[in-house]
Homo-oligomer: A and B are copies of this chain.
Amino acid sequence: MADTSSFLNKARLVDLLKRERLDAIVATLPENVTYSSGYWALSQWIRRGPQSYVLLPAADLDASCIIASTSLLDLLADQDIWVKNVRRYGYFQADRANAPLNALDRRQAELYDLPDDKGAIESLVAAVRAAGLAKGRLAVDELGLLPGHWERLRDELPEAELVPGAQLMRRIRAVKTEAEIDRLREAARVAERSIQAALRVAKAGATELDLARAFHAETVTGDAFPVLGCIGFGTRSAMPNVQPADVALEEGQVIRFDVGGRYHHYRADIARIAVLGEADARTRKYYGALSAGVQRVLEMVKPGVRTADLFNAAVETVRREGIPHYSRSHVGHGIGIDGYDLPDLTPGSDHVVEEGMVMCVETPYYEVGWCGLQREDTIVIRRDGPESFMTLSGDLMTVS
């Protein structure tokens, strides 16, 4: 694994905290804990309940502190984490060999030897006090806490001013570092290769589940984890969230992929359309219009452009090019450690495109009783315009 110190956009974090007159921010959602520190705390990612936090003081990021469950300290020792201060809480039994330890094991032993803060909130409160922030103005990512935690923080830090921090964390995450961009590019590549693997088994009589198995097998071979695997045939492709079923592919049917896993924490979300045999005229015309809408965004997008303008241009293009009644709530979204990062490509958005944003641009069309058509590309915004992560053509594909 490469350097995870650079997941976090430190300059942007400090700048946004200062603009909001905040002394620190506390990450609590699994996405925000991993993003801000590099620490991936297994059980927090697979269930709701387990708590890990990162305290990030604006004036001195080197004083940042991770709050970890004792049962998850091993991952702290084994991962590439830039935050050096750790507090632990809770009982967990790990014995120790009566033998010389290697560096990894020494680090584990050190972490287990830390004093036990007993509970997650107690530990966070102690970290805030130790950082001299008990009277500070603190943003706390409210979405990862459990019911009652906010009130406990307020009671135990009576002189602090607490404000919700989840939206601010999303604003920080919106502009990616190069380490994040590298992962997002590879996540997209794995998704493309997985689509190709699925198309290799696509033939008359193959089922959605056959394609899904081939898709996910390629994903895990690429060291990514399955997350989004919408693969549908024919009229089923019109279901926006179609889940693969034991349904056989027939000549002339559309295959819609809206897919993407998680590669070293970072998400993919791309869409492509294939047809078994020859596409009919309406499918070609509609897909051409949708693809032109994406293409229009790719031509316009660069730093300083309003995302609402991108939305309007995409919808107008699709309407002009062949689907006069085309209507949508959005034509894309940011992507990162979460599948829906900022910015939003919506008509009411006041977001402005910035260099370093990574976004999915998409123009889906779902017609119940006919089919679903969609092109979704992922791009990163460079100084002069977009760099596409796509290596697969955005054209309608055919399989035989």
Contact = CB atoms under 8 A, between A and B. Distances in A.
Interface residues of A, number: 73
A178 to B, nearest CB: 22
Nearest to A30: B48
A226 B164 CA distance: 33
Contacts of A243: 40, 42, 75, 78-79
Contacts of A226: 220, 225-226
A150 interface: yes
B340 A47 contact: yes
A11 interface: no
Given A71-B240, A242-B74, A93 B328 contact: yes
Interface stretch (A128-136, A304-312, A367-375): A367-375
Given A78-B239, A96-B367, A209 B228 contact: no
B209 A213 contact: no
B221 A366 contact: no
Contact of A46 (B78, B209, B227, B235): B227
A88 interface: no
Contact of A223 (B94, B100, B209, B340): B209
Contact of A72 (B48, B213, B241, B339): B241
Interface string A65-86: 0000001101101110000000
A2 to B, nearest CB: 12
Interface stretch (A101-109, A118-126, A152-160, A382-390): A101-109
A147 interface: yes
Nearest to A323: B95
Contact of A369 (B29, B49, B96, B225): B96
A93 B102 CA distance: 58
Which of A46, A240, A242, A338 has the most chain B CB within a 10 Å cutoff?
Answer: A240
A99 B101 CA distance: 71
Interface in A211-257: 213, 216-217, 219-221, 223, 225-228, 235-236, 238-243, 245
A97 interface: yes
A344 to B, nearest CB: 13
Contact of A213 (B221, B329, B339): B221
A94 B143 CA distance: 31
A61 interface: no
A96 B145 CA distance: 42
B236 A104 contact: yes
A94 B78 CA distance: 47
A339 B209 CA distance: 25
A95 B368 contact: yes
A57 B148 CA distance: 27
A59 interface: no
A220 B255 CA distance: 20
Interface of A: 29, 40, 42-43, 46-49, 71-72, 74-75, 77-79, 91-97, 99-102, 104-105, 108-109, 112, 142-147, 150, 164, 209, 213, 216-217, 219-221, 223, 225-228, 235-236, 238-243, 245, 325, 327-329, 338-340, 365-370
